[in-house]
Structures are given as C-alpha cells and as structure tokens.
Structure 1
Amino acid sequence: MTQNLGCNHAVGRSIQVTAGDGELFTYVYQATDPQLESPRPFFHPIRTLAGDLVSVFRPHDHVWHKGITWSLPHFGHENFWGGPTFSKDAGYQQLDNNGSMNHDRIDALDVSDDLVRFAHHLSWRTQAGAHVVDESRSLTTRFADEGWVLVYETAMTNVSGETIQIGSPTTAGRANAGYGGLFWRGPRSFTNGTVLAPQGKGGDELRGQRAAWMGFSGKHDNNDRASSIIIADAADNVRHPPEWFVRSEDFAAVCPAPFFSEELPFESGSTLRFRYAVLVADGASDDQRAAALAAQAQKALAAG
C-alpha cells in the first residue's frame, strides 16, 4: 500500500480520515441536527479508496438517515433513531421523544501511517432532558487487503436508574421491521443492488436472517463503477450472530440488529458492549469475493 492514512480535525465538530490525498470518511462527532432527527454522531461522506461515495445524507424519505449511525428507535419509550415512533395501536406517530447522543470529550486521537484511532465520550439525553446513558465509543481505521476497514466499538452504561427495554418496530408489533443498531444507508444509485450474505447474495428476502456478516454491492452513477461494503458482527456481541435488517428494493441499507425480534433488558448500572468491522472496497462482489472481504473484516475485529 503506497498511500498513508491521515486525519484532519475540525476541533469541536468532526474528524476526516484520509488515504493519501483522498477522503475515506468524515465522522461528525458533534451533531447539530434538528431534535426531530435525534441528533447523534454520523459518518458521511464515506468513500472507497478510488473516491466513490457509498453513503447518503438526509435522504428526503428519511431525513434522519445519515451515512452510518448508531441508532436505536425503541429505547424504552425514547427514540434515539429519529423521526416517528411505531406502536401497534397507532402505527407511526411523531412524538416528543427524540433523544440525542451528545459529545462530551475526546479521549484519544492517534494517527500513524497505517492506523487512525479516535475515541470519545458521549451522554445520551431524552428530549425532556433526562440523562440515561454514558457511552464510550472508539473508531479504528486501517487498510485492508482490499480497501479499508473501520472497527467500531461502543460501551453504553445505563445511568437512568431504571431497566430499559431495547427493542425495534418489530418488537412493538410491526412485522419484519427490526431495525436498530449500526445502520448504513447507501446512495440512491445502489437501489436494487445486491445484498451480500454468507448464505448467498440476494435481496430483501434476506431481511431477518441470522449471519455473522452481511453487506451490499451497488453501482455508481456517472462513472459506471461499483463498490462493496461489508459489516461484520463481533463474536462476543450480544446475540451473535444477529438478525439483520437489510433493504435493496426501496433503498440500500444494512444493519446488524441485535434487538430485531426480541427486546433486551438493559439494567440500570450495567454496560452493554458492541463491536463491528465495516469494510469498504472498490468493485462489485460475488459470493466468493464477499466471503473474502468478510474474512478481512473479521481479521480486523481480531486485531482490535
């Protein structure tokens, strides 16, 4: 690899991780979005080594979708996803329950030619102002054999004084809509692209299935190229291998969803930890290449 990793820091706002002269991603750690969108850190833009964009920001159909975000739509009675909340009796309703994940401090920013690591502390607050979670989050970026890989780690501590049930629209009564967790939304041109999975590539029929990893391959407008993204779930994550929320027909989305079909009690004072690897590569992927990319993502998880 002839390029070196780098980092540009907009202090108090974001970091931009680079490879040579090109951007890999910008991570906005201090979000300033409207409350309805549940302000929280996000990754956008996200690019391949060749510079192709593999994320979208505030799409008109779901303005709270922002590249890659850690987002939980059913956190007790609170919504840390953005937009309306689903209930079996009323369907989707916009409530005054859109919480925020607020940046408190930076704990680490380490940059070398082959690694960038950023860690920070966040406080989660409900729309009413209650402090419910303290979170430590770290992001480690490396080159992979093909493309580059981000290891995303979170440790959330419940400081609310109560047990919180973490669920999804499916646990609230909507069939096959178990989104919630580390959520990626792809560009418009990826619509009707290919969902990648260990059980073989496909489409929306893979939603709700369990797997150690899933991903997506789609085409770009303008340059006739394609890109692939893989998300791998760490073996020590709760409910590994998770069910997955994936979409292709309406838009491109991939989300390991540990709360897809069953609520998880989050006891007061306890800490929940999750780790994921996100690998971004140029080019389309068939089943064989997807498995090879997933192996590289899992290798990054093992490296920490």
Structure 2
Amino acid sequence: MSGTDGILELRCAGRPVASYTTRPELSARHSPRPYLHPVTTPAGVPVSAFAPDDHPHHLGVGVAVPDVAGHNFWGGRTFVRGRGPTELDNHGAQRHEGFARLGPDGFTEALSWAAGDGRVLLREERILRVRELGGAAWALDLSFALTDATGAGVSIGSPATNGRPGAAYGGFFWRAPKEAAPPEVFGAAGDGEAAVHGVCGNWVALAGDGWTLVFAGADEETRRDPWFVRAAEYPGVGSSLAHERRLVLPAGGTVVRRVVTVVADGRLDRAAAEALVHRAVAS
C-alpha cells in the first residue's frame, strides 16, 4: 500500500484494486467519512460508485449510519417519523485519527465519530485486509468496532426504526455502479431482490456487466444482521445494525461487525459464487 494526501492505494497480487480516502473534502450534507473508491476487479472493471446522481451521499464502500443518537452519519436527508425524509442540520463526520498498522495487505485505523458541534459520540477501530483468491478474484475483509465515547451510552437507529418499513440500512455499505440493466441478485436465502432484502443469510451476491460481488457475514453477530439490498432502484448492498429496533450501546459498550466481500471478474453463477465466498471467509 502506498499513499499521498490521505489517499491510499490497495494492491492485491501486485495489482491496484482500490483507493482509500482518509480525509475527504466534502460538504457537511455528505456526512464526511473515509471511503473506498474506486474499487475494481482484478481485470480493472469498476465495481464501486462515488456520489452518483441518484444518491450523491453514497460514497463508494465504507461504514455509514443514518442515526447515531439523532445525528446523521449517512448523508442526505433524515427520515423523521410522521414527516418522512427531511433536511436537517444534524450531520456528523467520521474523522481519521491515525493508523495502528499500515502495510501492503491493508491497515488498522482509528476513527472518531463527531457530531456537528464537535462532540465525539463513537470511537471506531476499523480493520481492512485484501486477499487474493486466484487470478480472477480477490477478497476485501472489513471489520469495524464501534465504542460509546459519551460515557452515558448511545443508541443507533435507521429509517426503519424511525417509521420507514424496509429501510433498515446502516453499518457496512457498498454502492455499486449503475448500469443499463439492474444486476442479478441471488444469495443463500434465494434468488431476486425480494428474496434476500431484509433477510438474514450467510451470503448475498450482485452480478453485473462483467463483475460479481459476493458479500458474507464472517461471524455469528454479523450473520444475525439482515441484509439491506437494492438492485432495481440502484445497486447496493449493506448490513442492518438496527433492523426492527434501535441498537443500544451501554456506557463504554462496543459493537463489532465483520463483512468479507469477494470481488470477481465475470458473471458468476450460484455454485461459483458460493464456493468463492466460503473460501474467502475461511482463509
């Protein structure tokens, strides 16, 4: 890995596969945060999207939460019960504090999640690793640990917990590029967006034009989070930290999640996708 001006280049088997921006220059409305973009397959096919027209606050690949004690770390409008999506001056920012480890295969990063007034609500340890899975695929292993920094506890919510059914996004999120046709969706729970969205499953896949992404929870806690999946409206996959109820961290409490993503050339079928993701999680 090499980097200048807060941008790190990730390499797998000697090839660049992603860039990680640690200190983005973004407006408050984007809820500034470190992100991965561009991300590519081994052959160089792009599989991430940054600030697309349909959702300008979608920033490639990273960790984003729309409601941390009422503060927006997702970007864009906030869903308010009884009012719907509403423009609020409640955006927070994730601040890169430094690297505990930085090497050719990834890093361990310290971050603070600060409200607009500067108060730190959460501290995060983020660990990212890249691994080769053969010439046509690699794996991104991303884990994050969020710890209450207020000393009084903090709660994490989503539009779903605030009254919008089916919108329990918040946590790990990967925004894929929008193409002429929606990507194919399939997973452990079945085929199609409706079969996997809002459902717990060991893995879920998006297959687009010359690329496939296969996402898997790599531990029991992560596998208990339902998947948030979009394909018809826009292509994206994420986790749901707060699906039916708010996730409450006690004073000094920590929540840990780990998602492993296979990034592959070509349009994989179910058997190939499942075999690769099982290998990625086990390695």
201-210 or 25-34: bigger deviation: 201-210
Q: Choose from 60, 69, 94 the match for 1:67.
A: 60
Alignment of 1:161-200 (within 5 A): 161-189=151-179, 191-200=181-190
Counterpart-to-counterpart distance in 2, 1:270 and 1:95: 28
Partner of 2:108: 119
With normalisation by structure 1, the TM-score equals 0.88
Distance in 2 of aligned mates of 1:128 and 1:191: 42
1:44 and 1:57 in contact (8 A); partners too: yes
Corresponding residue number in structure 1 for 2:133 = 144
Structure-2 residue corresponding to 1:18: 11
- Distance in 2 of aligned mates of 1:32 and 1:166: 25
- SS at 1:237's partner residue? helix
Q: Name the stretch that deviates more: 165-174 or 204-213.
A: 204-213
Cα distance, 1:190 vs structure 2: 6.8
- Gaps of at least 5 residues in structure 1 are 1-6, 220-225
1:171-214 CA deviation, whole Å, 9 max, x = no partner? 11001111111111111117521112112331244211111221
Q: CA RMSD in A?
A: 1.6
What secondary structure sits across from 1:291 in the alignment? helix
Pair 1:291-2:274 in alignment: yes
Q: 1:88 aligns with which of 68, 75, 81?
A: 81
Residue segments in structure 2 that go unaligned for 5+ positions in a row: none
Between 18-27 and 102-111, the greater mean CA deviation after superposition: 18-27
Letter in 1 for 2:108: A
**Percentage of identical aligned residues:** 31
Asked if 1:131 is matched to 2:124, the reply is no
Q: May I ask how many residue pairs the two structures share in their alignment?
A: 282
Residue aligned with 1:290, SS:
helix
What is the TM-score of this pair, normalised by structure 2? 0.94
1:271 aligns with 2:265: no
C-alpha distance in 1 between matches for 2:180 and 2:277: 20
Q: Are the counterparts in 2 of residues 163 and 265 from structure 1 also a CA contact under 8 Å?
A: yes
Deviations 1:142-167 (A, max 9, x none): 10145111111212211113322212
Deviations 1:83-142 (A, max 9, x none): 11101211111111110000111211122xxxx121111111001211111111111111
